[in-house]
Amino acid sequence: MLRTENLGKKYGDFTAVDNLNLEVKEGSIFGFLGHNGAGKTTTISMLTTLILPISGNANIGGYDVVKDNLKVRNLIGYLPENVTLYGDLTAVENLRFFGKLSGVKDVDASIENILKLLEFTEWKNRKVKTYSKGMRQRIGIAQAILHNPKILFLDEPTSGLDPQGTKELRDILLLLNQERGTTIFMNTHLLSEVTKLCTDIGIISKGRLLLADSIKNIEKEFPEEKSLEEIYFKIEGAKR
């Protein structure tokens, strides 16, 4: 579903992503782990065609993120970190706008379906600025999946959510993955979420990919470590 080859990005002298080689299988939930400033958001920005890599290439669904950017955009859904949407618009108005930008045919019917799926119909006509963080995040997910993307990119989706909100979001993502077969690529630094949700992980530090594999394989590879947290710190520590 997603493959990168020697993908790189620099901001001036600072290397944000360095020769990233990554593969994400279709139908998987991929957790991209790393501490703040490790290069997670830069990677997701390149994969969602928002910024250009300076080296290497990346393919999503067989399309190059630079050359076939429009085709890639049709395949992906994206929820950035801390998105607030348009506060003065209702959930439906927000979704209608983004649905039209995504070329959704029967946009109103699609909105109804998504809102039902996310159990959000009750609040659909309230202005977004009146929502809690968890509700905003749900509407954020709704706009990202409105056009039924093959792969969903989420940047720190649980950031700022309370335990209840985090659980609800987790349930939604599992639902999407299981019912719609949506591949999920999720940036996070919360290891507990990864353990509960992801099938595969990648660990990035200072722009370099340290490890990428299925959780099962990783646990086999590190039999002495009791948790993913220990594995993470071992790999991170070794790198440092």
The values of phi and psi at residue 236, to 5°, are -60, -45
3-state secondary structure of 32: strand
Question: Could you give the angle at which helices 133-145 and 163-175 cross, rounded to 10 degrees?
Answer: 10
233 binds other proteins (CB under 8 A): no
177 binds other proteins (CB under 8 A): no
Q: Distance between CA atoms of 121 and 90, rounded to whole angstroms?
A: 12
Query: With contacts defined by CB under 8 A, how many residues of the chain interact with other proteins?
Result: 30
Furthest C-alpha separation in the chain: 53
| Strand bridging mode 63-64 / 76-79 | unpaired
CB atoms within 10 A of CB 164: 9
74 binds other proteins (CB under 8 A): yes
- Identify which of residues 31 and 77 has a Cβ nearer to other proteins in the complex: 77
For other proteins, which residue of 5, 15, 56, 83 counts as binding (CB under 8 A)? 83
- Identify which of residues 85 and 115 has a Cβ nearer to other proteins in the complex: 85
- Identify which of residues 84 and 178 has a Cβ nearer to other proteins in the complex: 84
- Identify which of residues 97 and 123 has a Cβ nearer to other proteins in the complex: 97
Stretch that binds other proteins, among 95-103, 109-117, 170-178, 179-187 (CB under 8 A): 95-103
Stretch that binds other proteins, among 42-50, 56-64, 191-199, 219-227 (CB under 8 A): 42-50
Q: What is the distance in angstroms between the CA of the first residue and the CA of the last residue of the chain?
A: 31
100 binds other proteins (CB under 8 A): yes
158 binds other proteins (CB under 8 A): no
- Identify which of residues 136 and 203 has a Cβ nearer to other proteins in the complex: 136
| Strand bridging mode 200-205 / 208-214 | antiparallel
The least CB distance from residue 87 to other proteins, in Å, is: 7
- Identify which of residues 108 and 229 has a Cβ nearer to other proteins in the complex: 108
Residues 10-39 within binding reach of other proteins (CB under 8 A): 11
The least CB distance from residue 79 to other proteins, in Å, is: 8
| Alpha helix positions (H), the chain | 40-47, 69-75, 91-101, 107-117, 133-145, 163-175, 191-197, 215-221, 228-239
Distance set, CA 68 to CA 13, 165, 190 (Å): 28, 36, 33
Residues 134-153 within binding reach of other proteins (CB under 8 A): 143
Burial profile 170-180: b = 16 or more Cβ within 10 angstroms, e = fewer: bebbeebbeee
Tell me which residues touch other proteins (CB under 8 A). 11, 45, 48-52, 66-67, 69-70, 73-74, 76, 78, 80, 82-88, 97-98, 100-103, 143
